[in-house]
Structure 1
Amino acid sequence: MATFELELVSPERLLLSRPAEMVVIPAAEGEMGVLPGHAPMIVKLAAGLIRVTEGGQVTEVLFVPGGFAEVTPERLTILADEATPPARLSKAEAEARIAAADKAYNELGLTGTPEAREAAMEQLLAARAMAAVAEAA
């Protein structure tokens, strides 16, 4: 089957670079499958799972707390601060992130800018998604 190049990049380093037949990403509008020859686009990612398919089977699953993806017919580049296999996620760490994000959001109250409140809410939703994935793993 045809493949395309998948790259997962964090601000510090290249996390993953390999061919893939299909990758399902957690786009902000919902899960999105990427295949070779996909139309070019840039997509905002929500917190969720990236699933890499090779040989007709899911070979790798990674949790990302958000980010962006650039799709071209030959390549999928995912930009994320972190990517973690679900089995390595800690429920305790997720709960700590939820508490910190909830506190930050509540401290903004009605006095914070809409952008600051939105960013704090995205952090809270990412932490909750991380907790759900950690619990399921």
Structure 2
Amino acid sequence: MAESFQFELVSPERLLLEAQVVSAVLPGAEGEFGVGAGHSPFLSTMRPGVVKATSDNGEVHEYFVRGGFADVSATGVTVLAEQAIPMGDLNADFIDQQIKDAEEDVADAKDDETRQKASLILSQLEEMKQAIASA
């Protein structure tokens, strides 16, 4: 059996998940990455996507996050999410609103760098909508 480690998912509103897990997959800004027990420490920004944490009993915890930070340490992982919602609570209306907000961010961007970042988030949300629709 794989060794477990401490995993915490925190949103501005509350602690969403605190559990011993054997693996976690996170949507890092530079790409999706996996974490296991004893992983080398690092800090990563996160893009919109799905956080998956698997408990030692096989239970998979899945949350949609819209940005934030992941702190991987020798003892575990802490995800500080800008927004986090259990995947079971997501629906088309929620994703559509997120896309609308991102489209407004692109339209309101004052410079190219801000516009590029907002456009990236918009495309990631559109990919998320397609992934949820095909699941």
Q: Please give the range of the TM-score, normalised by the shorter of the 2 chains.
A: 0.7 to 0.9
Partners of 1:53 and 1:117 in 2: CA distance: 36
Partners of 2:101 and 2:41 in 1: CA distance: 37
Deviates more, 1:85-94 or 1:50-59: 50-59
Partners of 1:45 and 1:16 in 2: CA distance: 17
Deviations, residues 74-125 of structure 1 (Å, cap 9, x unaligned):
11000102222223112122123223321331243xxx12443244324423
Deviations, residues 38-93 of structure 1 (Å, cap 9, x unaligned):
10100111211111112363521111122110001111000102222223112122
Question: Cα RMSD between the aligned structures?
Answer: 2.1
Aligned in 2, Cα 1:100/1:11: closer, same or farther, shift over 3 Å? closer
TM-score with structure 1 setting the length: 0.82
Unaligned runs of 5+ in 2: none
Aligned twin of 2:114: 116
Given that 1:47 and 1:125 are in contact with CA atoms closer than 8 Å, whether structure 2 keeps it comes out as: no
Deviates more, 1:55-64 or 1:118-127: 118-127
List structure 1 runs of 4+ shifted beyond 3 angstroms: none
Aligned twin of 2:41: 40
TM-score with structure 2 setting the length: 0.83
Given that 1:24 and 1:50 are in contact with CA atoms closer than 8 Å, whether structure 2 keeps it comes out as: yes
Unaligned runs of 5+ in 1: none
Aligned in 2, Cα 1:99/1:133: closer, same or farther, shift over 3 Å? same
- SS of residue matched to 1:57: coil
User: 1:45-124 counterparts in 2 under 5 A?
Assistant: 45-55=46-56, 57-108=58-109, 112-124=110-122
